Amino acid sequence: MEIALGFIIFLLCLVIGVRFGGLGLAAVSGIGLVIYIFGLGYKPGVPPNDVMLTILAVVTCAAFLQTSGGLTVLLKLAEKILRKNPKNVTILAPITTWFLTVLCGTGHVCYTMFPIIYDVAIKQNIRPERPMAVSSIAAQMGICGSPVSVAIVSIVSFLAIAGYDISIAKVLMVSIPSTFFGVLAAAIWSMRRGKELENDPDFQALIADPEQRKYVYGSTESLLDKELPKSYYTAVAIFIAGIIIIAIMGNLPDLLPHFSAGVGKPAKPISMTLVIQMVMLCIASLILFFCKVDAKKVADSNVFRAGMVALVSVYGVAWTANTLFAHHMDFLKGVLISAVAVYPWAYAIIAFFTSKLVNSQAAAIAIVAPLALEAGIEPVIVLSFISACYGYFFLPTYPSDLACIGFDRSGTTKIGKYILNHSFMIPGLIGVITGCCVGYVIAHAII
pTM for the predicted model, two decimal places: 0.75
Q: Tell me which amino acid residue 121 is.
A: A
* Within a domain: 110: yes
Identify the bridge partners of residue 166 per DSSP, sorted by sequence position. Answer: none
258 or 336, which is more confident: 258
Which of 373, 121, 73, 80 minimizes the C-alpha distance to 228?
73
* Within a domain: 355: yes
- Sorted by sequence, the CB contacts under 8 Å of residue 145 that are 6+ apart come out as 98, 101, 102, 152, 172, 175, 176, 178, 179, 180
* Within a domain: 5: no
pLDDT score of 429: 97
Q: In whole angstroms, what is the distance from residue 138 CA to residue 98 CA?
A: 5
Number of H helices, E strands in the chain: 21, 2
pLDDT score of 437: 96
> Does the pLDDT at position 328 exceed 90?
no
Q: Say what percent of the chain tops pLDDT 70.
A: 95
- Residues 424/136, Cβ–Cβ less than 8 Å: yes
Using CB atoms within 10 A of its CB, is residue 230 exposed (0-12), middle (13-18) or buried (19+)?
Answer: exposed
The pLDDT tens digits of the residues spanning 237-291 come to 998 898 788 777 766 777 888 887 677 677 777 877 788 789 889 999 999 999 9
The pLDDT tens digits of the residues spanning 89-132 come to 999 999 999 998 888 777 766 776 888 888 889 988 999 999 99
* Within a domain: 412: yes
* Within a domain: 30: no
DSSP assignment of 265-319 equals PPEEEPPHHHHHHHHHHHHHHHHHHHTT--HHHHTTSHHHHHHHHHHHHHHHHHH
pLDDT score of 221: 60
Distances in Å between the Cα of 399 and the Cα atoms of 107, 108, 112 are 10, 9, 13
User: Rounded mean pLDDT of 153-169?
Assistant: 83
pLDDT score of 354: 85
Within 10 angstroms of residue 295's Cβ, the number of other Cβ atoms is 11
In which band, very low, low, confident or very high, does the pLDDT at 397 lie, cut at 50, 70 and 90?
low
Identify the bridge partners of residue 268 per DSSP, sorted by sequence position. Answer: 259
> Does the pLDDT at position 22 exceed 70?
no
The pLDDT tens digits of the residues spanning 184-237 come to 999 999 999 999 999 999 999 999 998 888 888 876 667 777 888 999 999 989
Q: In whole angstroms, what is the distance from residue 329 CA to residue 307 CA?
A: 31
User: Rounded mean pLDDT of 345-351?
Assistant: 89
For residue 421, report the phi and psi dihedrals to the nearest 5 degrees: -90, 55
115 or 351, which is more confident: 351
User: Rounded mean pLDDT of 29-56?
Assistant: 85
User: Rounded mean pLDDT of 47-67?
Assistant: 81
How far does CA 366 lie from the centroid of its chain?
13
Residue 287, domain extent: 48-446
* Within a domain: 41: no
DSSP tag of 398: S
DSSP tag of 38: I
> Does the pLDDT at position 407 exceed 90?
no
**Angle CA(335)–CA(338)–CA(343) in degrees, nearest 5?**
115
In which band, very low, low, confident or very high, does the pLDDT at 137 lie, cut at 50, 70 and 90?
very high
Q: Tell me which amino acid residue 1 is.
A: M
Q: In whole angstroms, what is the distance from residue 377 CA to residue 205 CA?
A: 55
Among the residue ranges 46-60, 74-88, 289-303, 363-377, the one predicted with the least confidence is: 46-60
Within 10 angstroms of residue 296's Cβ, the number of other Cβ atoms is 8
pLDDT score of 251: 67
Using CB atoms within 10 A of its CB, is residue 163 exposed (0-12), middle (13-18) or buried (19+)?
Answer: exposed
* Within a domain: 207: yes
pLDDT score of 168: 81
> Does the pLDDT at position 370 exceed 90?
no
* Within a domain: 3: no
- Sorted by sequence, the CB contacts under 8 Å of residue 183 that are 6+ apart come out as 94, 95, 98, 134, 137, 138, 141, 142, 431
Total structural domains within the chain: 1
